Every structure is written in C-alpha cells, then in structure tokens.
Chains A and B, each alone.
Chain A
Amino acid sequence: MTAEPTSFKREMLATLPSLRAFAVSLTGKHDKADDLVQDTVMKAWAKQTSFEMGTNIKAWLFTILRNEFYSQMRKRGREVQDSDGAFTERLSVHPAQYGSMDMQDFKKALSQLPDDQREAVILIGASGFSYEEAAAICDCAVGTMKSRVSRARTRLQDILKITGEADYGPDAVSAQVTTSNHSF
C-alpha cells in the first residue's frame, strides 16, 4: 500500500520556501535559518493535532517559527549578527529588477531597523500576510502592527532617501520617536 502524502505534509511542503525566507530574515544567516526551519518542522509535526485542517497553516507555522526563534535567542543570548544583517550576501547574486548595489543598500537599511519593525515590514510587505494575521503571529495588537510597519517604512525611506511617496512628512519622522503619534 503506497502511502498517499498526508495533506498536512503537503501543506507544510508548500509553505516551506516562504517559511525559510522568513527564517533568513530573522536569523540573518542561511545555515541558522535552515536549523530554525528544521526545529520548526519538528515542533509543528509534534503539535499537528492542535492544528485544524483548513485553517491558515502558513500563519500557524510562522507563529511556531517565530516563537522558536525568540526562545532560542533568549536561551543563547543575542549573538552578533553579520554586518549585512537581515539578508546575507548570497542574496545579491540574484538579479531581480534592481542593480546589486541598490540591493546592498537596501539590505543594509533593513538591517538597521529594530527587530520588531523589520519583522513587521517583512510579514506585511513580503510574506503576504494581512495586518490581522501578522499581529496574531507577533502576538501584538493590529494597531501596533500598523504602527511598526509605518515606522519601518518611514525609516527605510529616510535611510534610502527615497522621495516622492505618499504621506511622507515631518509627522512620519516624529512617529519614529513617539509611539503615541502614528501616521495611521
């Protein structure tokens, strides 16, 4: 009897590339990211009975991975990240539609963000989660998620000196300093 792949396994497989990209953005290193994804897969497999089929497996796996990352960080103490931070040099090999110099600058800018802002902007801007999903993954309020994304974007624009985007003004800059003054 050939075992048909269980849908849990199938759905997990489909999520792995994105989960791994998120892991790289958290750890800053591919080898550590792969270890983290591996730990996450084992944890998730052990807890699969607590997962309801048909609900959002991607958000569920991201939550496990993120919790695992921060609990390992607390245990080990924060290690020094490489100079490029969030995404490593290996990424610049890929062309995308930008020059590699451009991308280096962007990676550097991303690495200068506080951890909570970087993960927020990645979950919303790249992983494709809604604000509600991202807030659940990071265990914070939706408003907090919005303000983190807003501050991250403002700060990235500031670092990269990108101009010409909407609602970029003095208010957005002060929003970095005070949490009570969100730009939305």
Chain B
Amino acid sequence: MMKDKLVTQQRMRTQAGRAEDGLGPNTDIGNRLRALYGAVQEEGVPDQLLDLLEKLDSAEQAQKAKNAPRDGE
C-alpha cells in the first residue's frame, strides 16, 4: 500500500514535470520537435546499415556454430 502510494506520487510528479516543461502533446514546440524528428524516423533505415547488422549477426552465428559441440554427439 505504501509502495502503491509512492508509485502514484512518482507518476504524478512525472506528469506534472511533463506538463510544466512545455513539450507535452498540446504544445507548439513539442509538436514541432516531434514533427521534425518523426520525419527522419519515417525515412527508414538505409540498406548499408541493415547490411552491416546482418553481417555482424551472421559472423557471430558462424563463430558460435564453430565453437558449439557437434550435433548428434
């Protein structure tokens, strides 16, 4: 119960902090920031980055397979 109260208080404080900082959902500056940021996010991730992640991952999988004990004893 104490804990619940604490959590509620914290939540209220966080919400109050958000409301005061002028960047919430109904603020001009907040909305503009999110519009700019969102526009970059929506561009998607360039292929070279996706390729890089693929390569890193497959290199790791290959390494793991090499180190792992062989299947079927």
Interface residues of A (CB under 8 A from B): 3, 5-6, 9, 12-13, 16-18, 20-21, 24-25, 34, 37-38, 41-42, 45, 87, 91, 94, 96-98, 102-103, 106-107, 110, 121-122, 124-127, 130-131, 146, 149-150, 153, 156-157, 160, 162, 165-167, 184
* Any A CB within 8 A of the CB of B9: no
* Any A CB within 8 A of the CB of B72: no
Among the listed A25, A45, A106, A124, which residue makes an inter-chain contact with B32, where contact means beta carbons less than 8 Å apart? A106
The distance in angstroms between the C-alpha atoms of A32 and B51, with both chains bound, is: 18
Interface of A is mostly: helix
Task: Check A45 against B37 for contact (C-beta < 8 Å).
Answer: no
The distance in angstroms between the C-alpha atoms of A138 and B54, with both chains bound, is: 29
Task: Check B52 against A97 for contact (C-beta < 8 Å).
Answer: no
* Any A CB within 8 A of the CB of B21: yes
Task: Check B49 against A38 for contact (C-beta < 8 Å).
Answer: yes
Shortest distance from the beta carbon of A72 to any chain B beta carbon, whole Å:
17
Closest to B26 in A: A165
Interface of B is mostly: helix
* Any A CB within 8 A of the CB of B36: yes
Task: Check A98 against B42 for contact (C-beta < 8 Å).
Answer: no
Q: B11-42: which have CB < 8 Å to A?
A: 14, 17, 20-23, 27-42
Task: Check B49 against A9 for contact (C-beta < 8 Å).
Answer: no
Closest to A183 in B: B20
* Any A CB within 8 A of the CB of B58: yes
Residues of A within 8 A of B42 (CB): 17, 94
Shortest distance from the beta carbon of B14 to any chain A beta carbon, whole Å:
7
The distance in angstroms between the C-alpha atoms of A153 and B71, with both chains bound, is: 60
Among the listed A24, A34, A91, which residue makes an inter-chain contact with B48, where contact means beta carbons less than 8 Å apart? A34
